[in-house]
Amino acid sequence: MKNKNLESFIDDISIFEEANTEKLPPVHKWKPEYSGKMDLIIDSQGDWKHDGAYFKRRSIVNLFSKLLLLEGNKYFLISPTEKWEIKVSVAPFVVVSVDRVELNSVPAIKCTTLTEQVFLIGKSHPIWLDNINSNDNAIPFTRVRDNLNAFFNRSSYYRLIDMALENKNKSRDEISIHSLGIDYPLGLTA
């Protein structure tokens, strides 16, 4: 996709910049025709680049992250009139911060993504372990919204492990994280 097309796409979705940042656009209701492939990649660190250059404006990345759609195994950047296929190396979101919180006296784990989405680990946002490829150890993932997932960056992963080790059941070798009344296994201790 040429830069002119990217500018056109930005103009097309600019109405959402003014909207409440907590409210997501209704991408599931939009049915534009397939527009082609855009040279836009979300790399293995969660950074976005177009035509080989990283985005410099975080506000554009945050806006675009609200316009992601997964159909089958293909990711799209979508507007009411355009639907561009993009490449995602691992997952479209990256959890960069993990904190313990309480919600009505119930312990929970709060996650924040690189694109500033905030949510609590629970039924709608479970944690599971998965391999990126056959050579890697399993890493934790979580659901951000719809069928879009996030992986945990190194520091947030270590923070999860620290939290799990603090609560480790001495009679078992498995560690898990507890949030909103649900235990999520994170693997075995050495």
CATH code of the domain in which 42 resides: 3.10.540.10
Backbone torsions φ then ψ of 62, nearest 5 degrees: -60, -40
pTM over 0.85: no
**DSSP label of 103:** E
> Is 60 exceeded by the pLDDT of residue 189?
yes
The number of domains in the chain is 2
> Which of 125, 120, 110, 70 lies closest to 92, judged by CA?
70
82 and 116 in a single domain? The answer is no
The rounded mean pLDDT for the chain is: 86
Decide: 119 and 125 in contact? Cβ < 8 Å. Answer: yes
38 membership: H or E segment, kind and range: strand 36-42
Q: Kindly indicate the confidence band of residue 173, based on its pLDDT and cuts at 50, 70 and 90.
A: confident
* C-alpha dihedral, 87 to 109 to 99 to 152, nearest 10°: -20
Q: Kindly indicate the confidence band of residue 131, based on its pLDDT and cuts at 50, 70 and 90.
A: confident
**Domain residue limits at 104:** 93-185
Q: Give me the pLDDT at residue 10, please.
A: 53
Residue at 133: amino acid letter: N
107 and 139 in a single domain? The answer is yes
